[in-house]
Structure 1
Amino acid sequence: MLLANDESVALTPARAGSGRVLAGALHGRRGARPWSLAWGRLSAGEFSVCAEFVGEVEGGHPRTVLATRLGSDFCLAETAGDYRGVTVTTAESRLYSELWPVPRASRAV
């Protein structure tokens, strides 16, 4: 589960179709710090995942990061910056998705 300001955020599926290696992608801000995030599941035998974040709002260059493998089949890639798209590449596949904005959480008073 992804939390924003200590509240759960509904994970919106990526628009990349049914590919497992890219299950979702979000972008948002925490205070003044923008961030971008992509996650997915790996099939057996996949060991390395690269994510190239593109379309940074403030005119920055694309940024490629090596995803962090969590457990046996889950991966997560994140970077600073307010990007609009991500391409995730493994030895077996290459998928693109737009990054969805983090929904604003409603607060009970």
Structure 2
Amino acid sequence: MNDQGEELLARVRAVLSDAGFDETATGAEGVHLIRHARGVMLGWLPEDLAQPRRRGPRRSRRPAPADLPGLRRAFGLAMAAALRAAGLTVETRGDEWLLVAFERAADAS
């Protein structure tokens, strides 16, 4: 990633941290940041939520994305609001990802 990409990644991390959304380690639940050609993609994996105990065979601990649509939406809106309040350009990518785009250079006129 170029200097602009590293600066954006650092800025996104700082804004999210200030808002209480700390990035998690690779492969863990929580907020994930991924470098992208147009900026930084981020999403949330809610694996750390307590799952109700079920009787019978043990099921997968990772909830399917469709299991938590309202919570996913609220979390995404909260992250997007924090990023936009910091002056960053945020685009929605499906139901699970946000793209923080590089700032466009001013048109030379």
Q: Which has the higher helix share?
A: 2
Higher relative contact order (CA 8 A, sep 6+): 1
What TM-score do the two structures reach when normalised by structure 1? 0.31
TM-score for both structures, normalised by structure 2: 0.31
Compare CA radii of gyration and give the structure with the larger one: 2
